[in-house]
Structure 1
Amino acid sequence: MKIGVWNIRGMNKEFKQHEIVDFFTSNKLDIMGINETRVRFPNFNSVRKRGFKHFKVLHNYDYHSNGRLWVIWNKASLVVTALSSGVQWVHLQIEAPGCVTYQVTFVYGLNSLEGRVDLWTFLKGIQPTCPWVCLGDFNCMRSLDERISNTAANLQALVDFNDAISMAGLEDMVTHGFAFTWTNKQEDGDRKWMKLDRVLINTEWAAVLPHSYADSLAAGVSDQSPLVVHIPSTEVPRPKQFRFLNCWAQDPSFPEIIKEVWQERIYGCSMYKLVQHLKVAKQHLKVLHHKTYSSLTERAKKKMCELQDCQGKLQRDPMNAALMLEEKELCLQYCNLKNAELSAACQRAKAHGIQMMDANTSYFFAKMAVRGVVVILAR
């Protein structure tokens, strides 16, 4: 699961829209907040159809005509519920497979000290009991170390921001990458750097998702760095389904394994003994697979390298009997690996074909058409 946020500094131009979509897809985001869109409400539908027709979109036009905040996502499995909106925030609840249910607040703070009072009041009043992440452009720093500038800082702004964070029970998420997220892009001594964008989390988030972290990336076409939050999956991986590979039966040790398993003495009814024998055989075959037939493609490539190396040595010493025997053995081993790889690939393809045809999909009808079978559908 990944969450992104970016102050794009206006996206009426088509290339900016492409930049956002490219950022979303290249970072494999699940949901993203877009700050400072500068898309007025009458233009919302045209911009959405032109650049974001494949996304679901939430916004805060009810509170500001310029669409200060958009939230986009495109996964059907992602359940997003809007909880609250304002001029400076969009507050959501998110449910996703393999991840805990959590709340996320996308923020774009106002430039003025007085204007941000409503944002601080809102953050202090949420107090959710579930994991909560708050991220975006706060237009404010936490300390003087987060700026490089010749002008004096507004110390009261820092005090208000830290007070709001403390009362809301938030703390900075571990963040890698660019330390300063905004620059005025001026030259020489007029250049300013500040950390205006950040990711904040509550104690529940830190307890439930301790391995999550954020990346602060290059600003690109904007003057502010985008942020990407990485959330590890909490889904317990399922054990792999056991499938018998036909290539196992060609292994020289296979008959001995089966003979040994079936000679084990097991007490009970006939069906119980059969099931227990099969269970024991499965464990032995798993060991055989791990030792000889796992990662067949990589094993075959490695064996081919060994064969080519041996043949190179033979070129330098053509009458070396030991190298001749080694070449013969390596060639046989390589052929056995390639045959096993082909056998396993054919089995997978056949299983996939059966599954797709059973689903009566377009794949099924395409196969029937190739075979010249006329399929008549009852109306």
Structure 2
Amino acid sequence: MRKIAPGWLWLDNYDYSDRGRIWVIWNPVYTHIILESMSAQFIHTTVQIKASNLTFAFTIVYGLHTQSDKRGLWNDLRSIHIQQQEQWLDMGDYNAIRAVEDRVNGGTPTKSELRDLNEFLEDTKMTTLRASGREYTWTNGHTYNTIDWGLVNARWMMAMALHELFIMDPRCFDHSPMSLYLAQDEDTSLRPFKFLNHVAGHEKFPKTIEEMWSKMRGRCRMADIWRNLKHVKKAMKHLNATEFGGVEKRINSC
């Protein structure tokens, strides 16, 4: 590490796994990371981005290969979810697929293979980040699987700027690296959204809502719903500002 990234800091889980399956590496000039907990299958941290004062929970996952070996991982992630009070990004190699379409040229997935990840998402109401780039995240040259995921909780979807997970070229590896760009130029603080009744009575209101909601695409996943709610929220604020802004001055000038 001193040769590859001098001055950087890192965490690993060699104390829980002889192979040290997970490394977390960061530049302390820009980022501060606090270790919260770890096991053979995950490292759970709190990340602070210094430039923007952005703080969120970040769990890095390396799921073992069998369902029985991963049982402890799902239990641990559920426990973290119960205690989680802030934005949470849960990302890595889960060795789990969500749907039949997530595997090509391999054996047909069984119901039990699809169960654990989908039940976790249902129980916690977390959602998968929209991904672009390569369609599958792992291959042995014959079989193609999507087994690497970026999961986020509701607080993340409501508070964070619009973002997208990018699946990169694996080059000589069997897994494709995942890259997530965090926009730094938007306010990420949690503030309550106030629905103003007078906006709903404006003639432009129905068309504005229809235009924003029509941005939905794909399979109507929960991520699409959250994304469209953010579009609607922004559009309603704009409508209120343009049509009702400075109303007191307008009245006084009449």
The answer to whether TM tops 0.5 is yes
Is the counterpart of residue 98 in structure 1 residue 57 in structure 2? no
Residues 54 and 149 of structure 1: CA distance in aligned 2, closer, same or farther (over 3 Å): same
Alpha-carbon distance in 1 for matches of 2:145, 2:53: 33
Describe the superposition over 1:298-343 as per-residue Cα deviations: whole angstroms up to 9, x where unpaired.
xxxxxxxxxxxxxxxxxxxxxxxxxxxxxxxxxxxxxxxxxxxxxx
Alpha-carbon distance in 2 for matches of 1:212, 1:152: 32
1:138 aligns with one of 94, 116, 138: 94
* Offset, 1:54: 3.3
Alpha-carbon distance in 2 for matches of 1:178, 1:151: 21
Alpha-carbon distance in 2 for matches of 1:57, 1:196: 25
1:148 aligns with one of 86, 99, 104: 104
Is the counterpart of residue 212 in structure 1 residue 174 in structure 2? no
Matches within 5 A, 1:84-233: 84-96=37-49, 97-127=51-81, 128-185=84-141, 191-233=142-184
- Judge conservation of contact 2:47–2:58 (CA < 8 Å) in 1: yes
Residues 77 and 218 of structure 1: CA distance in aligned 2, closer, same or farther (over 3 Å): closer
Alpha-carbon distance in 1 for matches of 2:185, 2:36: 24
Alpha-carbon distance in 1 for matches of 2:113, 2:161: 30
Describe the superposition over 1:62-119 as per-residue Cα deviations: whole angstroms up to 9, x where unpaired.
1011111000011323111001101010111011121521001111100011011111
Alpha-carbon distance in 1 for matches of 2:176, 2:106: 22
Describe the superposition over 1:188-210 as per-residue Cα deviations: whole angstroms up to 9, x where unpaired.
xxx10000111111000000014
Q: Which letter maps to 1:123?
A: L
Could you tell me the percent identity over the aligned residues? 26
Matches within 5 A, 1:1-379: 48-96=1-49, 97-127=51-81, 128-185=84-141, 191-234=142-185
Alpha-carbon distance in 2 for matches of 1:210, 1:146: 27
Secondary structure of the residue that 2:2 maps to in structure 1? helix
Secondary structure of the residue that 1:51 maps to in structure 2? coil
Alpha-carbon distance in 1 for matches of 2:78, 2:88: 13
Secondary structure of the residue that 1:161 maps to in structure 2? helix
Secondary structure of the residue that 2:109 maps to in structure 1? coil
Q: Which letter maps to 1:60?
A: N
Residues 70 and 98 of structure 1: CA distance in aligned 2, closer, same or farther (over 3 Å): same
TM score, norm. by length of structure 1: 0.47
Aligned residues: 184
Alpha-carbon distance in 2 for matches of 1:159, 1:216: 24
- Judge conservation of contact 1:134–1:201 (CA < 8 Å) in 2: yes
Alpha-carbon distance in 1 for matches of 2:173, 2:105: 20
Alpha-carbon distance in 2 for matches of 1:229, 1:93: 17
Farther off after superposition, 132-141 or 91-100: 91-100
Residues 226 and 150 of structure 1: CA distance in aligned 2, closer, same or farther (over 3 Å): closer
Give 1 or 2: higher strand fraction: 2
What's the counterpart of residue 18 of structure 1? Answer: none
Stretches of structure 1 lacking an aligned partner (at least 5 in a row): 1-47, 186-190, 237-379
Secondary structure of the residue that 1:117 maps to in structure 2? helix
* Offset, 1:234: 4.9
Alpha-carbon distance in 1 for matches of 2:103, 2:53: 36
- Judge conservation of contact 2:161–2:186 (CA < 8 Å) in 1: no
CA-atom RMSD, angstroms?
1.5
* Offset, 1:170: 1.1
Residues 167 and 51 of structure 1: CA distance in aligned 2, closer, same or farther (over 3 Å): same
* Offset, 1:165: 2.0
Alpha-carbon distance in 1 for matches of 2:144, 2:101: 11
- Judge conservation of contact 2:161–2:182 (CA < 8 Å) in 1: no
Greater Rg over alpha carbons, structure: 1
Alpha-carbon distance in 1 for matches of 2:172, 2:79: 35
TM score, norm. by length of structure 2: 0.69
- Judge conservation of contact 1:126–1:168 (CA < 8 Å) in 2: no
